[in-house]
Amino acid sequence: MHFPDLSPYSYCSADALPNVLNVGWLESAHPYDVGDIPPMQRDRLRSFAAGVRVNLCRGWHACDFCRATGATPTAGKPLEDIQLGNGELWLPGEGAIVFAAPALIYHYVVHHSYRPPRPFLDALDRFGTRTSWDAEGECRRRMGPSEAVE
């Protein structure tokens, strides 16, 4: 599923959600920004991908770029048992903004040189290693309990 970076989020909702922006919804048919991100941001993104997911699904979305291998992307060592293709990451931005990314975003950064937009990276820096973010609660609040994926 492709959504342009920083476009309004509407993946699991009938209408675009106010102040929820897409990041990292990549497909091979669409170009994307390429570049390195600092190791500290990459590590934060890996930790975030491993522990703060919402809208978990029963199936797995394979990486469109790696589809030929049939492998399910994981978070890498030491988190190899964390598979990334079954949900989303919601990261708090400035003010009321929340960024919604597929859990595969870490895989895209590491294996396909995807460079998320600056506002997302800034939010990742501000978030740091906090563990108090209730992504699931924020998702339910913004989507309503009837639309959040169970």
The total of other beta-carbon atoms located within 10 Å of residue 106's CB is 29
Give the count of domains, the chain.
Answer: 1
Q: Which domain holds residue 79?
A: 20-143
pTM: 0.82
**pLDDT tens digit sequence for 73-128:** 554 544 455 556 578 888 999 999 999 999 889 889 988 999 999 999 999 998 87
Which pair of tokens denotes residue 145?
């309990």
- CB neighbour list of residue 115: distance below 8 Å, 6 or more residues apart: 33, 34, 35, 36, 37, 109
Does residue 27 lie in a domain region?
Answer: yes
In a domain, 90, yes or no: yes
In a domain, 6, yes or no: no
Q: Is residue 120 in some structural domain? A: yes
Can you tell me the distance from the alpha carbon of 61 to that of 33, in angstroms, rounded to the nearest whole number? 21
Query: How confident is the model over 53-78, as pLDDT tens digits?
Result: 666 555 556 778 886 455 555 545 44
Burial of 16 per CB tally in 10 Å (0-12, 13-18, 19+) = middle
The verdict on residue 148 lying in a domain is: no
Position 76 in a domain: yes
Task: Indicate the DSSP class of residue 67.
Answer: G
